[in-house]
Amino acid sequence: MKRRLLCAATVFALASIAAPAQAQQTIRLTAAAGHPPVFLWVKLIDEFFVPEVDKRLAAAGKHKIEWTKAWGGTLIKIGSESKGIADGVADLGFVGTIFEAPKFPMQNVSYFAPFGSEDIAVVTQVVNDMQKTIPAMGDAWTKNGLVYLGGAALDSYHIWTSFPVHSVDDLKGKKITAPGPAANWIRGTGAVAVAGNLNTYYEDIKSGVSNGVITFATGAWGAKVHEVAPYITKVNFGSQYAGGLAMNKGRFDRLPPEVKTVFREVAAEYQKRFAVAQTEAANGLLKRMQDAGAKISELPAAERRHWADTLPPIAKTWAADLQAKGMPGDQVLHGFMDGLKKAGAQPVRDWAGK
């Protein structure tokens, strides 16, 4: 009798130990991005977001995620991330709003108001706040079948060229690769804008399709731009909001409440870590480019202001175009400029006023 009771107690104890593991729910998700993890916004998903979510869920003991990761365009291509995630090809990933302007026109406000702030955290937070206070901005994610988790702005844009740049006049007659709305930053300068992205910059310059590119240090390093365009002129067009971590809305809505909370909390931390890491990386990589032979110079403040004033009223034109399409362009533009000023930034040009 005692032996039977002892066996029964042992079985019960083992069952009690095994119960939490058996009750743990496994959720299968695919994370993807058009860019490879050499770029920080993808690298942090791979090396921070995913493992941190796993760590927090493991501590709770109720849920476990089985991840499939597909970076570098192996599953969804640059410019198609929102569709790929919305269609369920991937569940989660980084959506670059700069490459998807037709779907996220208001999110590109910083690209139409250059020379604003080089502070990545400030620009990101200003746009994040606007997406909460201007319904049309936040709704852009929902309408495209996505849930926005956290944003990222890129380090300040400068210009990499195969020739020295001392003033705006040096750009006359030159072909400059510029991503999407950044082409507006050379309007009126005499330069010709050439379309491209981080995956094409190197070959574009090497082959003579363009004579240089407007980009940011962390992207330029990954694309090895300094090898074909060794003249780096720090124009400081400002940090630019680039997009954010997003998830398929239907998939997110079906997640258990506690898992949703973990995703949002880790995404908020991802946003903070990205701003710090991107700033540090930009400074470090510019130094490495210089050590590799690149010639770095800084555009004088007077010439920078001259460059900003040379441009046509691109922000007001952009805002008016949105207004004509039924979107609050004026509110977005004023919100961005006011947000920068409240954060202590000193934009070279007040795009909302002229």
Q: How does pLDDT run across 292-309, given as a tens digit for each residue? A: 999 999 999 999 999 999
Map tokens 């630019």 to a residue: 240
Q: Are residues 182 and 325 in the same domain?
A: yes
Which of 8-17, 250-259, 318-327 is least confident?
8-17
In a domain, 18, yes or no: no
Q: Are residues 165 and 203 in the same domain?
A: yes
Q: Are residues 229 and 307 in the same domain?
A: yes
Q: Are residues 199 and 301 in the same domain?
A: yes
Q: Are residues 198 and 276 in the same domain?
A: no
Q: Are residues 233 and 275 in the same domain?
A: no
Q: How does pLDDT run across 196-235, given as a tens digit for each residue? A: 888 899 999 999 999 999 999 988 998 999 999 999 999 9
Secondary structure element (H or E) that encloses residue 150, with its range:
strand 146-154
In a domain, 354, yes or no: no
Alpha-carbon span 312 to 314, nearest angstrom: 5
pLDDT at 339: 97
Q: Are residues 266 and 309 in the same domain?
A: no
Rounded to 5 degrees, what are φ and ψ at 269? -70, -35
Alpha-carbon span 116 to 124, nearest angstrom: 12
Angle between helices 50-60 and 257-291 (to 10 degrees): 150
What is the percentage of the chain residues whose pLDDT exceeds 90?
A: 87
Host domain of residue 85: 25-153+241-283
In a domain, 324, yes or no: yes
Q: Are residues 331 and 209 in the same domain?
A: yes
pLDDT at 197: 84
In a domain, 353, yes or no: no
In a domain, 288, yes or no: no
Q: Are residues 54 and 83 in the same domain?
A: yes
**In the chain, how many domains are there?**
2
Question: Are 175 and 191 a contacting pair, CB within 8 Å?
Answer: yes
pLDDT at 354: 62
Name which of 348, 344, 347, 238 is nearest 304 in CA terms. 348
Q: Are residues 181 and 235 in the same domain?
A: yes
**Any idea what the CATH number is for the domain that residue 163 is in?**
3.40.190.170
In a domain, 174, yes or no: yes
Q: Are residues 251 and 210 in the same domain?
A: no
In a domain, 6, yes or no: no
Tokens describing residue 12: 């019960």
Q: Are residues 229 and 302 in the same domain?
A: yes
Q: Residue 66 carries which DSSP code?
A: E
Alpha-carbon span 167 to 177, nearest angstrom: 18
